Structure 1
Amino acid sequence: MTKLFSNIKIKDLELKNRIVMAPMCMVAADEEGYAKDWHEIHYASRAIGGTGLIILEATAVESRGRIKEGDLGIWDDSHIEGLARIVQSSKALGAKVGIQLAHAGRKCEVKSEKIIAPSPIAFNDTYPTPEEMTIDDIKFVINAFKEGARRANEAGFDTIEIHGAHGYLINEFLSPLTNKRKDEYGGSIENRVRFLREITQEIKTVWPENKPIILRVSAEEYVEDGNHPEDLVEIINIVKDEGIDIIDISSGGVVPARIDVYPGYQIPFAETIKKGTNLPIIAGGLVTEPDMAEEILKNNRADFIFLGRELLRNPYWPLQAASKLNYDMEWPYSYSRAKI
């Protein structure tokens, strides 16, 4: 039995395999963040191809939380209908579906929006300097994540992912490179994690106990004074009892930095965090070969494998991976009945 195509259940989320479609911004929504028919077809194609868990792209919990114009939104109840159509079509085709709740913080590129961050430090010379968030701003965004989670549940998502990676707002609070605050939200790790902890606490008041919550992190910031995997172990251990069930491991994006990328470059980070937190781990990073995915899972280096651009290039990667691993995967009914 291949590990990649084995079932796994966390709370009421039961997956037919360990293949996860990573959130990837498609920049295909309208100017108000509403989903289009394109999104439904895009995600349904990966469901047909056999992906076990599809996580929708970064979806902004408020309009100034968008990374770019064209990002999906979940800041208004009117967004629910379009998101629900995506959920319904992909689930009908055999996948489970999650959504990444996000706020861009200082990396918002929507020129009409007020840019906010924990500290008034620009990402680089091409980005505007953000306004330092007041306590009222912090409370507002915490509530926006809560309301986003409520809407995600109403839309029928099986899980939500809190976006705490890639230098966006939550990550900006977590990192000593971007958080220079002198109040209770800055300084020590305990203070820097407070924003994430309060977001998680509020989400738990509206998100069903039987549905898991995923946290995506940048496990390595590639700068000496930034966070490293051991720091993320400490951060995660502070918040995991608030209701974090799964960790999705990524890296970088906090500050401009050179990253040496190669197949599996993030897997050692995943191993450190898995060992240090005892939580299920989603890992990836140029993992495109089925044998490599199988090795990572069988050696207990991670519990799920995410694919990003590979699934954009090839929505049917899971079907082809099953063939390479000699696993008799059930093909979509119409394919298996087709007369060739």
Structure 2
Amino acid sequence: MTTTLNNAAAVLGSPLKINGLEIKNRIILGPMSVLRPTPDGRPSAQSIAFLQRRAQGGVGLVIVGGSVATTQAWDESPFTPLIRFDKDEFVGDLKRLTDAVHVYGTPVFAQLFPSFGRMGVPRNGKWISAASPKSVNMGVAGLPDNIYIPGGRITPLPHEATVEDIKALEAGVVAAARRAKAAGFDGAEIAAHMSYFYSSFLSPLANQRTDQYGGSAQNRARALRDVVAAVRAEVGADYPLGIRMSVNDHLPGGQGPDGFAEVAAHIVKGGVDFISLSEANYDNMRVNVPSRSGTMLEFGEPQAFRKVLGPGVKLFLSSTPDPQQAADAIVDGHVDANMLARQMLADPDYAVKVLEGRVADINWCDHANSCMRRLILNVPVACHKNPEMGREHPDAERASLGQALAVWAAGNKPLMTIADKLARAKQKKQPSAASQ
């Protein structure tokens, strides 16, 4: 079914019930690592100002990302700083954040992020762990536009997580959920996307275990289902709780949407109210960060999840800034809401413009991905389409001239082509580990 633009505004502007919570419209600010908290992991004035600005811009729900639920995740993070949910001492600061967003009548959810898994960085004598010892070959299936990794990158080989490791992270996530609720967060989602810890269990491509956490779809769902059930027991039956999970490997021999939906059917039994749908992983970031709207619908992933899960579990669409595409997907019953990230950097008033029928006034993201390059280089994130972004608070940290030049160079194709050739030539000259 195809809606008109006026109908699209009506559809996206309609309320949505998530467990016991009603949100005022179906446009959601997705979690992003752009909040620039304090070095010790507390929400900064800029963190709060960024989120307030999107709430002021009319979104129905804010999901706070760039955060960690456990000290392990804090220690192994490939970028810093992050917002911490791993200690009681941070609850007061987190409460300042939720209070500030609530001023606009906008609910706010916490993302509970347990571990970076295959994307973690070994530090302090501690190694990283995942479902199985499998590295990520970044860029093997393509990088997003204007993102380059000279010479490519293969992440350190993780250890196979022991049952004790799995249960320790589960306990950490439960404790983080308790803190999130105490801090005034209106709901939470557990991160199980990209190449992070829980994601590594969901597909046979990354999970080669032979114990109770590997093999069948039911077994591959076990770690995530167990943590969902444990968090549900902690926060109560009426607290909105969801997961962010991968929906398609998009790799040879990988699992497609039907397989992921089968795994999801086991996970939701733990007490899932919603699923934030996420494409692919770090092996093929081009699919995860598309340059056009609606690819997830084209791949049939929300449709596969809806067929298996039915209407009881709310589904959040991603990578679909075209409001008519999103509204059509809602009307057709494929999804329940539209969750946006990069577009919300380019235009914090996207939601109100859509809901008022002012689509022509939207400042569109051009997918140049300068924001991603900044994140990769650990530079304060900004948006060249929106000079206000990253400066919502006057005291926000700004990029230095040297950092700005590094961001420019990292997106310069001729320069990065030369850098790639030099890096690969150097790799060929280095003796392999087997010959040493």
**2:109 is the alignment partner of 1:77:** no
Amino acid at match of 1:106: R
Q: 1:31 Cα shift?
A: 4.0
Decide whether the 8 Å contact of 2:279 with 2:287 is kept in 1. no
Partner in structure 1 of residue 120 of structure 2:
108
Q: 1:318 Cα shift?
A: 1.1
1:62 to 70, 78, 86: 70
**2:21 is the alignment partner of 1:13:** yes
**Aligned-partner SS, 2:325:** helix
1:239 to 267, 281, 285: 267
Q: Equivalents in 2 of 1:264, 1:182: separation in Å?
A: 37
Partner in structure 1 of residue 175 of structure 2:
147
The 4+ residue runs of structure 1 with deviation greater than 6 A are none
Q: Which deviates more, 242-251 or 27-36?
A: 27-36
Q: 1:257 Cα shift?
A: 6.3
**Which has the greater radius of gyration?**
2
- Unaligned regions of 5+ residues in structure 1, if any? 327-340
Q: 1:58 Cα shift?
A: 4.1
Amino acid at match of 1:53: L
**2:347 is the alignment partner of 1:314:** yes
Amino acid at match of 1:305: N
Q: Equivalents in 2 of 1:257, 1:315: separation in Å?
A: 25
Q: Equivalents in 1 of 2:107, 2:222: separation in Å?
A: 31
**2:205 is the alignment partner of 1:177:** yes
Q: 1:93 Cα shift?
A: 0.9
Q: Equivalents in 2 of 1:324, 1:237: separation in Å?
A: 37
- Unaligned regions of 5+ residues in structure 2, if any? 1-6, 138-152, 360-436
1:135 to 163, 171, 175: 163
Q: 1:258 to 1:40 in 2, by over 3 A?
A: closer
Q: Equivalents in 2 of 1:175, 1:31: separation in Å?
A: 35
2:61 to 44, 53, 56: 53
Which structure has more helix as a fraction of its residues?
A: 2
Q: 1:34 Cα shift?
A: 2.1
The TM-score normalised by the length of structure 2 is 0.71
Q: 1:255 to 1:274 in 2, by over 3 A?
A: same
Q: Equivalents in 2 of 1:161, 1:167: separation in Å?
A: 17
Partner in structure 1 of residue 237 of structure 2:
209
Decide whether the 8 Å contact of 1:50 with 1:319 is kept in 2. yes
| Aligned length in residues | 325
Q: Which deviates more, 139-148 or 62-71?
A: 62-71
Amino acid at match of 1:122: S
2:30 to 11, 22, 28: 22
Q: 1:284 Cα shift?
A: 2.1
Decide whether the 8 Å contact of 2:43 with 2:94 is kept in 1. yes
Q: 1:123 Cα shift?
A: 1.6
1:147-166 deviation line (CA, Å, top 9, x unaligned) = 11111111111110111111
Amino acid at match of 1:288: P
Decide whether the 8 Å contact of 2:15 with 2:22 is kept in 1. yes
CA RMSD of aligned residues (A): 2.0
Partner in structure 2 of residue 121 of structure 1:
134
Partner in structure 2 of residue 297 of structure 1:
330
**2:246 is the alignment partner of 1:218:** yes
Q: Equivalents in 1 of 2:233, 2:327: separation in Å?
A: 37
Q: Equivalents in 1 of 2:106, 2:255: separation in Å?
A: 34
Partner in structure 2 of residue 162 of structure 1:
190
**Aligned-partner SS, 1:169:** coil
1:10-41 deviation line (CA, Å, top 9, x unaligned) = 22211110011111112623443222111111
Q: Which deviates more, 92-101 or 251-260?
A: 251-260
**2:301 is the alignment partner of 1:269:** yes
Amino acid at match of 1:81: G
Amino acid at match of 1:306: M
Q: Equivalents in 1 of 2:39, 2:127: separation in Å?
A: 16
Q: 1:92 Cα shift?
A: 1.4
Decide whether the 8 Å contact of 1:64 with 1:108 is kept in 2. no
Amino acid at match of 1:5: G
Q: Equivalents in 1 of 2:188, 2:51: separation in Å?
A: 16
Q: Equivalents in 2 of 1:246, 1:105: separation in Å?
A: 23
1:185-239 deviation line (CA, Å, top 9, x unaligned) = 1222221111111111211121121112111111111013222111122111112
Q: 1:301 Cα shift?
A: 2.2
Partner in structure 2 of residue 198 of structure 1:
226
Percent identity of paired positions between Structure 1 and Structure 2: 27
Partner in structure 1 of residue 106 of structure 2:
95
**Aligned-partner SS, 1:161:** strand
Q: 1:119 Cα shift?
A: 1.8
Decide whether the 8 Å contact of 1:97 with 1:159 is kept in 2. yes
Amino acid at match of 2:328: E
Q: Equivalents in 2 of 1:116, 1:290: separation in Å?
A: 40
Q: Equivalents in 2 of 1:289, 1:4: separation in Å?
A: 11
Decide whether the 8 Å contact of 2:35 with 2:47 is kept in 1. no
Q: 1:325 to 1:30 in 2, by over 3 A?
A: closer
**Aligned-partner SS, 1:24:** coil
Amino acid at match of 1:280: K
